[in-house]
């Protein structure tokens, strides 16, 4: 008896998805609600759970194929049928070994997942197959091959212990930093040296764009084609914020169980600016302008498959601590691939922090249908003039890209200046200036 697994409802107005990866292989035991596949939609990855306990049956579609809501994905076999099918294969595989048993001195018994024993010999050691024990995403698989690491020796930090690209890169860096073995240690048994790579070899690799990457490309290009994009810049002296963080970080973390970061300061400063300049917190719909009396800030977060923008709702009404908690939760769930459609829905303004990657200055692109985005960058010590003297201050360039169809230059510059003043004098955020 088998149970069909179909593509679940993916969210409002989302009718299809792409099979990103299979998390279970035919013959693998599965429990009810355990994820068996990951589907990529336009915004997030959606895991498909097993409806029953049993064993993974036939996979009806391959990785990379597009499926619609309600389409058949796979089947789950019940435990009895699965037990009958798996009880024969090990005996058939063991038959040659019974006809020609290996000497006791060169063979060992290895227990399979299904409880049977398999004879293994060092002279005929099996080649390690990373996918035999875990499913690797294309990005992780490429990283494994490029750096020559064994994925079975790496502890995954992703969802359900899965490997991420960052895990592989960290393991590769650790392997390079490890000291060479001592000359007094026994020399390993000789093995054939790998053939040297051909010098000057040029390679190409074609990888199909994920559905999320295709959507990002379409939306960003649409923003350029539709909006009248313009960017205004300013720089911010981060001294006051850095001193406030240093002074209160321990007390803040102890009371709220979260670190005090820069994003909450900029979110609250942006709320002040958006209240003062309503057009920066508005959007165009047809021949109408929609103004919002609330601030829902989309925060750009880096995920394994691309940039996502979950929304901190009612940021203007939330405390610093709650904003920090929301952003930290989004970052963790983006890495684990557990963000939902609801997390991305809406948003009236976006903050993108390119400084975490070392960016000095950029012109961010708005997130349609929003009309403005604030870009943050790295902090670096620079000489500036204060009270007629040249001093060193931790400075950051900030940028506001906006839709000139709706926002005039004066309004954009004023909004960015308001953010600058609030960051340089955080007291303004407390007394609403």
Element (H, E) at 384: strand 379-386
Architecture in CATH of 213-430: 2-Layer Sandwich (3.30)
Q: Which two tokens stand for residue 335?
A: 């890495």
Instruction: For residue 147, indicate whether it is catalytic.
Output: no
- Closest of 348, 344, 378 to residue 366, by C-alpha: 348
What is d(CA 6, CA 68) in angstroms, rounded to the nearest whole number? 9
Catalytic residue among 33, 314, 408, 425: 408
What is d(CA 250, CA 253) in angstroms, rounded to the nearest whole number? 5
CB under 8 Å to 274, separation ≥6 — which residues? 280, 281, 295, 316, 348, 349, 415
Helix/strand/coil for 111: strand
Beta pairing partners, 399: 233, 375
Cα→Cα distances 137→20, 30, 149, 170, Å: 8, 20, 15, 17
Residue 37 has pLDDT above 80, yes or no: yes
Name the least confident of 94-108, 168-182, 378-392, 400-414.
94-108
Name the least confident of 161-165, 223-227, 284-288.
161-165
Catalytic residue among 128, 160, 250, 404: 404
Name the least confident of 68-77, 81-90, 148-157.
81-90
Q: Which two tokens stand for residue 157?
A: 């930090």
| Tens of pLDDT, residues 410-424 | 999 999 999 999 999
Q: What is the dihedral of CA 271, 274, 276, 282, to 10 degrees?
A: -150
| pLDDT score at 393 | 96
More confident residue, 66 or 139: 66
List the chain domain ranges.
Answer: 2-80, 134-177, 213-430
What average pLDDT score do residues 155-175 get? Answer: 77
Instruction: For residue 408, indicate whether it is catalytic.
Output: yes
Mean pLDDT estimate for the chain: 79
CATH class name, domain 134-177? few secondary structures
| pLDDT score at 102 | 44
Beta pairing partners, 75: 4
CATH 2.40.50.100 fits 2-80, yes or no: yes
């Amino acid at each position: 008896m088998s149970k069909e697994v179909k593509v679940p409802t993916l969210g409002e107005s989302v009718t299809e998805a792409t099979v990103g990866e299979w998390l279970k292989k035919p013959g693998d035991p599965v429990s009810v609600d355990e994820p068996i596949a990951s589907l990529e939609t336009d915004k997030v990855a959606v895991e498909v759970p097993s409806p029953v306990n049993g064993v993974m049956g036939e996979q009806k579609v391959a990785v990379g194929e597009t499926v619609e809501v309600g389409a058949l994905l796979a089947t789950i076999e019940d435990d009895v049928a699965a037990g009958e099918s798996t009880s024969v294969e090990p005996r058939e595989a063991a038959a040659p070994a019974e006809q020609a048993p290996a000497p006791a001195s060169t063979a060992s018994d290895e227990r399979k997942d299904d409880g049977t024993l398999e004879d293994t010999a060092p002279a005929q050691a099996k080649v390690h197959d990373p996918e035999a024990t875990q499913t690797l995403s294309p990005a992780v698989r490429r990283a494994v091959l490029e750096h020559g690491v064994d994925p079975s020796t790496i502890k995954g930090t992703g969802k359900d212990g899965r490997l991420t690209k960052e895990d592989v890169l960290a393991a590769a860096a650790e392997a390079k930093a490890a000291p060479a073995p001592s000359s007094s240690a026994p020399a390993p048994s000789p093995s054939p040296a790998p053939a040297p790579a051909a010098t000057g070899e040029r390679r190409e690799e074609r990888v199909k764009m994920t559905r999320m990457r295709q959507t990002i490309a379409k939306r960003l290009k649409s923003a350029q084609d539709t909006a009248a994009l313009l960017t205004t810049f300013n720089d911010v002296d981060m001294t006051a914020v850095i001193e406030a963080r240093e002074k209160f970080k321990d007390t803040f973390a102890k009371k709220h169980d979260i670190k005090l970061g820069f994003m909450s300061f900029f979110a609250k400063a942006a709320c002040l600016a958006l209240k003062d300049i309503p057009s920066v917190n508005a959007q165009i719909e047809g021949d109408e302008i929609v103004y919002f009396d609330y601030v829902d800030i989309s925060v750009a977060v880096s995920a394994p498959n691309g940039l996502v923008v979950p929304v901190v709702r009612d940021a203007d009404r939330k405390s610093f601590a709650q904003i920090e908690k929301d952003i930290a939760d989004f970052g963790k769930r983006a890495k684990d691939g557990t963000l939902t459609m609801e997390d991305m829905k809406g948003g009236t303004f976006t903050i993108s922090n390119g400084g975490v990657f070392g960016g000095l200055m950029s012109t961010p692109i708005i997130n349609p249908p929003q009309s403005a985005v604030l870009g943050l960058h790295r902090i670096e010590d620079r000489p500036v003039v204060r009270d007629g003297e040249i001093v060193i201050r931790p400075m950051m360039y900030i940028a506001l890209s906006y839709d000139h169809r709706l926002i005039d230059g004066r309004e954009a510059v004023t909004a960015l200046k308001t953010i600058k003043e609030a960051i340089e004098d955080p007291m303004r955020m407390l007394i609403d200036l």
